[in-house]
Structure 1
Amino acid sequence: MVPVKVGEKFDYEAVNIDSDWNDSNDSELIMHTIHSYPAKFPAFIAWKAFEYAQNEGVKIKNVSDIFCGCGTVALEAKIHGYDFWGCDINPVATLIARTKSNTYNVDEILYYYERIKIKIENLDFPDDLYLRANARLQYWYYEKSYCVLYKLHYAIVCEIPEGKYREAFECIFSSILKACSKWLTKSIKPQVDPNKKEIDVLGQFDMHLHKFIKAVEEIKVANANTIIKCTNFLNEENLPKVDLIITSPPYVTSYEYADLHQLSSLWLGYADDYRTLRRGSIGSVYNSDAFFMDMKNLNNTGKNICEQLINIGMPMSKVKSVARYYVDMQNAVEKCYGMLRDGGMVFFVVGDTEYKNVKIQNSRHLVEVLEKNKFHDIKIGKRTISKRICIPYRDETGKFSKDKSKRKVYHEEFIISGRL
């Protein structure tokens, strides 16, 4: 980690890969892998941030992640004995995060599973069940797979009372939805594979359930309190005081998370139309339709980037999305300042992107925002996103590719810290 100041000339691209943040010899807990999640950073970033903050003199009791996603920081905080408060606007994300950070009795899990299997055997539904399905689910599923999934979810809701065990089973159910659908395997965007074969739905669920049991058995429970809310951080008023914030905001011009989680959102009843979940998401083009873009609201970096994008002819809807992202991030950092106790620290994991040769410097923008909000001792490091997925090109289907003629995407990201 090297010091950086906005007022000084600083070459962000010249920041070297920091081996401390790039890899770990320790394997992740199984619980971190119970449900796939896009752009999830590895668990070692969280516990290395704990170590770094402690070495810098931060006394950690309370940890937060304001864009908590699937709960990587939440779980690591729990097993390290820190109280945690986190939030995310995506209900699928917070379902996964709560499931990962709760404690369970294996015998009770198996008891509910036996009840579910018995319930499924005795269920009888009308022949037109598939024809009555949500049109979007008909689009994604063959009839047989849909009907088995329907019975499975119906049994979960009938046999498990509301609470952490039902959420755990719904999370496991959610984790198999793409594999059981026509969704193109490993694609980063919603795309049908017309040649994809149906798989054994109940067999897939059984496999994931027993993986979850192994994950539960692996964790040594620490005495820590965990709170995870499904809410927009920018609208949340009841924020706790914490010593350390570790977070990775969505990248500007990046994924539409509502689209990527549409199967779970529809099956679990979070929305009748998954597109309604796009609104409110930071950096979403769908969150900017009515956004009045006033350059005076942007800091110097944000203003400069938006002006360049306008000059090269980026559609105004997308320019407004970039501007909205930067305004939202400026407000988020200001709220982080209000959450931290004196001497506290914040960590942001963020990457730079590019649009038609215009550098979209999220790292520079964030450093400038931290300095404006009176954070000091601002430092920056760089890491390779993952050895497994660091190939920086993607083909027309969204899959990673080694072909240099294909679209290049970011494969490095920055770790940026600041003190209060």
Structure 2
Amino acid sequence: MKSKTNNFDLIFKRFLEVYSKDQQPIGVNFKEMVDSVKFQDRATHSIHIYPAKLLPQIPFFFVNNNFFIKENEYVLDPFSGSGTVLLEANLAGKNSFGCDANPLARLISKVKTSTYDVGVLKKLLQSLKVEIQNVIVDDNEKYPDVVNIDYWFLPNIKLQLNGILKSIKTISDENYRDFFLLCFSNCVKKVSLADSRISVPVKAKLNRKTNNQHPFFDESKLKLKNLENLDVFEKFSEIVSENIKRFENKQKIIPRSNDTKIIAEDARNLNIKDESVDLIITSPPYAGAQKYIRACSLNLGWTELSSKDNLRVLDKKNIGRENYSKSDYITLKVTGIEEADILLQEIYKINPLRAHIAANYLLEMKQAIIEASRVLKRNKYFILIAANNQVCNREFKTQEYLRQIAENAGFTTICRLIDDIKSYGLMTKRNKTASIITCEWVLILKKE
């Protein structure tokens, strides 16, 4: 790893030399720069599905680079999602802090970066097989507070899921219980009537005449047929076994994980001391780009991380959210970024809601960036990964606006990189007022 780290140092120093001459962004391909690692099979990255994951090659490049961070120092991701940055920091021998508004994301990050005795996990799985046979569950028993549970789950699937959940709750050790709860969460959507290829729950209507022309018609029809007689515990056991193998692979890379803590639920209020972090790497959400809480709603309900009535409360905690009442955007907020405010005034005339979403996003990101500056040590680096998108068919230069906010907060831009991401589909097309995000900007900011 040392030679690879030194190579990354040299690569970035060349980027700095080029950027210092004309201040123009440099085109890169992180997949090519980090081509020796198979991330799909690496450690615990694939322990649980999650929408819009960060390309792991990006944090790998920076946490294995002595220009930015040394061994046992602290990396922070204030929008940690499913923990890609946190895990790569651990595997590189660094400590990490994470923060996310979504309780499912926090659970994934916690489990993904934990250390488990694989032998204990295997014994607990065998115990659950015995426990599930003794659990008595009937349809009169209370189910978790899952949104539209009867719409998304067949009666036999509901009964089996409830039995598995009851069995998991008998595990006394919270850390190990969380492992099995996360495996259970990953099973939920696979046994639901939702299309697993789409991040937000969407149910196939196979009785429509036009549906047999849909490219996934046969696959969806087969899934529904299999659900009628599915052994859910067998499916759950497969997921558990796969994840146990991932922890075995992780231990081959690094026998003992460094310190990882999920410190907060809000990037605007991090629960750590001033100047306590050595490096920040983060890919914040985009304005209106991903419906994280809706995408995880079935998981949140079945794991009892949120009731269905609390989903709206959780959504309001997310920066970049879309749900606002009309009273919220009677007047358009001013961001203080001249170019953005001119554009938002034009958009407001066409679609007041979309203008408000974008304006409020920038104002809340300003708070998050100021908080990031507070906890970052002086002369250390903030790696901000962002992308431009469109709002009402107008280009919204998200990365440029965030860069201006950061510079106003005391950061200096020392380099800008652009990675074409069309090939790996970070985002899907969201609605007629937005567009596919086709490249990511990696802003390297320094706290002077």
- Residue 163 of structure 1 aligns with which residue? 174
Query: Could you tell me which amino acid in structure 2 is paired with residue 328 of structure 1?
Result: E
- Residue 19 of structure 2 aligns with which residue? none
Alignment CA distance shift 1:137-1:347 (3 Å): same
Residue 182 (str. 1) matches residue 193 (str. 2): yes
Distance in 2 (CA, whole Å) between partners of 1:304 and 1:58 is 43
Q: 8 Å contact 2:100–2:106 — kept in the other structure? A: yes
Residue 304 (str. 1) matches residue 369 (str. 2): no
Q: Deviation of residue 229 (structure 1)?
A: 3.5
- Equivalent residue for 1:387, pick from 423, 432, 435: 423
Query: Could you tell me which amino acid in structure 2 is paired with residue 233 of structure 1?
Result: A
Q: Please state whether the residue corresponding to 1:234 is helix, strand or coil.
A: coil
Query: Could you tell me which amino acid in structure 2 is paired with residue 347 of structure 1?
Result: I
- Residue 126 of structure 1 aligns with which residue? 138
Q: 8 Å contact 1:67–1:88 — kept in the other structure? A: yes
The superposition leaves residues 158-211 of structure 1 with CA deviations (integer Å, 9 ceiling, x where unpaired) of 2x1242111110111111111110111311332112444114422221111111
1:121-270 superposed matches below 5 A: 121-129=133-141, 134=146, 136-158=148-170, 160-194=171-205, 195=221, 196-197=223-224, 198=227, 199-219=230-250, 220-222=254-256, 224-239=258-273, 241-270=276-305
TM-score, scaled relative to structure 2: 0.81
Alignment CA distance shift 1:200-1:35 (3 Å): same
- Equivalent residue for 1:413, pick from 440, 443, 447: 440
- Residue 371 of structure 1 aligns with which residue? 407
Distance in 1 (CA, whole Å) between partners of 2:375 and 2:126 is 45
Q: 8 Å contact 1:31–1:216 — kept in the other structure? A: yes
Alignment CA distance shift 1:367-1:59 (3 Å): farther
Alignment CA distance shift 1:167-1:120 (3 Å): same
Deviation larger for 131-140 or 368-377: 131-140
- Residue 313 of structure 2 aligns with which residue? 276
Q: Deviation of residue 102 (structure 1)?
A: 0.2
Q: Percent identity?
A: 22
Alignment CA distance shift 1:230-1:136 (3 Å): farther
Query: Could you tell me which amino acid in structure 2 is paired with residue 302 of structure 1?
Result: A
Residue 362 (str. 1) matches residue 374 (str. 2): no
Q: Please state whether the residue corresponding to 2:140 is helix, strand or coil.
A: coil
Distance in 2 (CA, whole Å) between partners of 1:154 and 1:351 is 43
Alignment CA distance shift 1:410-1:22 (3 Å): farther
Q: Deviation of residue 343 (structure 1)?
A: 1.4
Query: Could you tell me which amino acid in structure 2 is paired with residue 247 of structure 1?
Result: T
Query: Could you tell me which amino acid in structure 1 is paired with residue 53 of structure 2?
Result: K
Q: Please state whether the residue corresponding to 2:191 is helix, strand or coil.
A: coil
Distance in 2 (CA, whole Å) between partners of 1:358 and 1:113 is 53
The superposition leaves residues 61-113 of structure 1 with CA deviations (integer Å, 9 ceiling, x where unpaired) of 11100000001111111121111111101000000000000000011111211
Q: Deviation of residue 298 (structure 1)?
A: 3.1
- Residue 44 of structure 1 aligns with which residue? 57
Q: Deviation of residue 331 (structure 1)?
A: 1.1
Identify unmatched segments of 5+ residues in structure 2: 1-11, 17-21, 206-220
- Alpha carbon RMSD of aligned pairs, Å? 2.9
Identify unmatched segments of 5+ residues in structure 1: 4-8, 399-406
The superposition leaves residues 325-371 of structure 1 with CA deviations (integer Å, 9 ceiling, x where unpaired) of 10011111111111111211001111111123211111110111121
TM-score, scaled relative to structure 1: 0.86
Q: 8 Å contact 2:30–2:58 — kept in the other structure? A: no
Deviation larger for 286-295 or 410-419: 286-295
Q: 8 Å contact 1:345–1:418 — kept in the other structure? A: yes
Query: Could you tell me which amino acid in structure 2 is paired with residue 246 of structure 1?
Result: I
Structure number with the higher helix fraction is 2
- Residue 361 of structure 2 aligns with which residue? 325
Q: Deviation of residue 50 (structure 1)?
A: 2.1
- Residue 402 of structure 1 aligns with which residue? none
